Chains A and B, each alone.
With several copies, the nearest count.
Chain A
Amino acid sequence: MSSSSHSTPPASAASITVEVLVFAKLAELLGQTSLRVTLPAPTTVGDVRDAVLASGPGLERLTPALAFAVNRAHTTADAPVVDGDEVALLPPLAGG
């Protein structure tokens, strides 16, 4: 995994860049399957989601439906992200 292990830097002293993967309907609406997002530290999965959904008109309506993974494991919107994390925004799963 690419998660860096340094301790949280002082707020506003650094920025955090993550790779964001999007899927299914969300990938279709965004016209891409991955993007790079940079936000001021500290930041959370929810902040990353908000930044991505702000990039297209009307995408905010997807907010309640999305689940999240960081570095290939499920997590929640309030989880912190660190520089280099792989963040995934997951529309409703439909496997099985």
Chain B
Amino acid sequence: MPCLTSSPLDLDRLVARVVSPERGGVATFTGVVRNHHDGRSVLRLEYSAYDAMAEAECARIVSEAERQWPVRVALEHRTGHLEVGDAAVMIAAAGAHRQEAFDACRYVIEEVKRRVPIWKREHFADGTMSWVDPTARPKAADVAPSDGPVP
């Protein structure tokens, strides 16, 4: 199954891909487009990817999780234009025990954020847009008032 899709994500469909009567514990994670970032009002986002590598990296992450825990994992990431409230990423992990389902699900979302070559551009209410850089320091608006030396 490809990981990238330009269609809306569907949690039930993802869960159906991994659950079975032998794997009765299913953990999922959904990441939804938020309406604010660095204190600015986000209208919509545009996700783009290095498609071939993103698919390869998603497949690697899923196999790593399935090797590390006795689980089945499904992962989808949406690309293109998304509105506030749309799901951008969904993960489902099913195992015989809840612990391994949670652990695998969490591993996958952390690795997706760290490794999958996807970028997003935010369109703000004021008409401007900017590429999101999760490694950047928050803008002044988000920083505590005092930037001076801590006593």
Contacts and interface: CB of A to CB of B under 8 A. Distances in A.
Contacts of A24: 48, 119, 121, 131
Contacts of B115: 74, 93
A88 B70 CA distance: 34
A90 B49 CA distance: 10
B80 to A, nearest CB: 13
A67 to B, nearest CB: 9
Nearest to B98: A96
Interface in B35-70: 47-50, 52-54, 56-57
Q: Counting chain B CB atoms within 10 Å of each CB, which of A24, A65, A74 scores highest? A: A24
Contact of A92 (B47, B53, B136): B136
A95 B116 contact: yes
9 contacts: A23-B48, A25-B131, A88-B53, A94-B119, A94-B131, A94-B132, A95-B77, A95-B118, A96-B88
Given A23-B50, A25-B119, A92-B136, 20 more contacts: A23-B48, A23-B117, A65-B133, A65-B135, A73-B53, A88-B50, A92-B133, A92-B135, A93-B114, A93-B115, A94-B132, A94-B133, A95-B47, A95-B54, A95-B77, A95-B117, A95-B120, A96-B89, A96-B112, A96-B116
Interface of A: 21, 23-25, 28, 65, 69, 72-74, 88, 90-96
Interface of B: 31, 47-50, 52-54, 56-57, 77, 88-89, 109, 112-121, 131-136
- Lowest 3 A-B CB distances belong to which pairs? A95-B118, A24-B119, A96-B113
